[in-house]
Structure 1
Amino acid sequence: MKLKVPVPQAFDSTEGWQEALPWVPEDATGRPYAAASGAGVVALLKKQGSSYILEARDEATGALRFGSKPWHPPKPQEITGKAVVETPGVETVRQDGREYLAVWAQGTDSGDALSKPQQVVEVDIYPVDTSGASASPAHVVQVPVDTYSGVARARDGGAGLLVSTDSGDESVSVDMRTGHLKHYPNTTKLGEPTCGAIACVTSEVKALTARGPVLANSVGGFGVPGVWNSSRVVPHGASTHDYEQYKSTAHFAVSGHLVASWTAADNGDDIWAVHNAETGRVEASTRCSPSDLSEGDTPSALSLNGRYLLAGPLAFDLTSGKGYCFAGSKASRQILLLSADDDGQAYGVAQGDDTAAGAPVAVSLSTGHPKPLAHGAQPPFLSLRTVGAFSPPADGPGVLFAFLRRQ
Structure 2
Amino acid sequence: MKRPKRVLVTVVAAGLLASCGEGPGNEPAASPPEVRTGAAAPAPSPSPSPTGPRTRLSVPSLYDTSRGWESDLPGTQIPLPHSGAVAVFREGGRNDGTFTVLDVTSGKVSWKADLKGPGIVSAFAISVQGVDYLVATASGAEGADVVSKGREITTIDIYAGRATGDDVAPLRHLELDGDGSVGNGGGGLLATFDDDVVMTVDPATGATEKYDLRKMKPPAGECKLCFGSTKAVAVTSRGPLLSVKSGFRHHYWVPGAWRSGTLTTGRPEQTFITPVGDLLVATWRDKGARDDTWAVLDPATAKVRAKVECAADQEAGEIKGFFRSAGGRYLVRGYTAFDLEKGTGHCFEETDRDKPVLLTGVTDDGVAFGTGASTAEQADPRVTVDLATGQVELADYIVAPFGDYSGYGLFWEDSTDTMVAYPRVG
Residues 305-316 of structure 1: pairs in structure 2 closer than 5 A: 305-316=327-338
Are 1:221 and 2:273 counterparts? no
Match of 1:35 in 2: 79
Match of 1:348 in 2: 370
Contact 1:275 1:283 in 2 (8 A): yes
Letter in 2 for 1:63: K
TM-score by length of 1: 0.78
TM-score by length of 2: 0.75
Contact 2:122 2:137 in 1 (8 A): yes
Letter in 2 for 1:291: E
Match of 1:82 in 2: none
Are 1:254 and 2:276 counterparts? yes
Letter in 2 for 1:136: A
Query: Which of residues 393, 399, 402 is equivalent to 1:381?
Result: 402
Are 1:265 and 2:276 counterparts? no
Match of 1:54 in 2: 99
Letter in 1 for 2:186: G
Q: Which runs of 5+ in 1 are unaligned?
A: 24-31, 77-86
Query: Which of residues 133, 140, 143 is equivalent to 1:111?
Result: 143
Per-residue deviation, 1:3: 0.7
Match of 1:155 in 2: 184
Give 3-state SS (helix, strand or coil) of 2:59's partner. coil
Per-residue deviation, 1:66: 1.0
Larger RCO of the pair (alpha carbons < 8 Å, separation 6+):
2
Match of 2:324 in 1: 302
CA RMSD, Structure 1 to Structure 2 (Å): 3.2
Letter in 2 for 1:45: F
Per-residue deviation, 1:258: 1.0
Change (3 A) 1:64 1:21: closer
Letter in 1 for 2:424: R
Q: Deviations over 1:177-225 (max 9, x none)?
A: 3434333333353543554655475332233222222222332332321
Change (3 A) 1:178 1:362: same
Match of 1:81 in 2: none
Letter in 2 for 1:370: V
CA distance in 2, matches of 1:259, 1:279: 13
Letter in 2 for 1:173: T
Change (3 A) 1:304 1:14: same
Match of 1:93 in 2: 127
Residues 6-405 of structure 1: pairs in structure 2 closer than 5 A: 6-22=58-74, 32-46=76-90, 50=94, 51-69=96-114, 71-75=115-119, 88-94=122-128, 98-105=131-138, 107-112=139-144, 116-117=149-150, 121-143=154-176, 152=181, 154-158=183-187, 160-164=188-192, 169-189=196-216, 191-195=218-222, 199=226, 202-219=229-246, 220-234=250-264, 239-240=265-266, 244-245=267-268, 247-250=270-273, 252-266=274-288, 268-286=290-308, 287-288=310-311, 289-294=313-318, 298-329=320-351, 332-350=354-372, 352=374, 357-374=379-396, 376-395=397-416, 399-405=417-423
CA distance in 1, matches of 2:315, 2:195: 23
Per-residue deviation, 1:59: 1.4
Match of 2:37 in 1: none
Q: Deviations over 1:311-363 (max 9, x none)?
A: 12221122222222222245654333222122211112335489953232211
Percent identity between the two aligned chains: 26
Out of 188-197 and 364-373, give the one that drifted further: 188-197
Out of 300-309 and 188-197, give the one that drifted further: 188-197
Give 3-state SS (helix, strand or coil) of 1:12's partner. coil
Contact 1:313 1:337 in 2 (8 A): yes
Contact 1:7 1:379 in 2 (8 A): yes
CA distance in 2, matches of 1:262, 1:58: 42
Letter in 1 for 2:243: A
Change (3 A) 1:214 1:276: same
Q: Deviations over 1:241-276 (max 9, x none)?
A: xxx1354221x2123221112134346443222111
Per-residue deviation, 1:131: 2.3
Matched pairs, number: 366
CA distance in 2, matches of 1:63, 1:299: 29
Q: Deviations over 1:290-313 (max 9, x none)?
A: 33535xx62212222322111122
Q: Deviations over 1:70-114 (max 9, x none)?
A: x244445xxxxxxxxxx723213326x643211234x53343479
Change (3 A) 1:355 1:176: same
Contact 2:363 2:404 in 1 (8 A): yes
CA distance in 2, matches of 1:74, 1:258: 33
Contact 2:272 2:316 in 1 (8 A): no
Which of 1 and 2 has greater Rg? 2
Change (3 A) 1:280 1:359: same
Contact 1:108 1:117 in 2 (8 A): no
Letter in 2 for 1:359: P
